[in-house]
Structure 1
Amino acid sequence: MDDFLTKPIDVALLASTLQRWTGGSGRGRPQAPSSAVPPPSVPPVLDERRLAELRDLEPGDPSLLLRFIDRFGDGARQRVTDLRAAHAEGDAESQGRIAHGLKGSASNLGATVLAQVCKQVEDLGAAGRLADEALVARVEDETHRATRALEGYAAGLRATR
Structure 2
Amino acid sequence: MPLPHWTSENVLPPGRHQADLSDLYERFVWDAPYRDEREILFSALSGYLGVVCRLIPSGRAWVAGGLAVRSAAVPRDVDVVLIPDEWGALKRLDEPARSTFYGMFTLKGVIAENPAMYLDRVQPVSGLVDGFLCHPGDEDAWEAVWSRGPVPGSVKGFAEVVW
TM-score using structure 1 length: 0.28
- Which structure carries more helix by proportion? 1
Compare CA radii of gyration and give the structure with the larger one.
1
TM-score using structure 2 length: 0.28
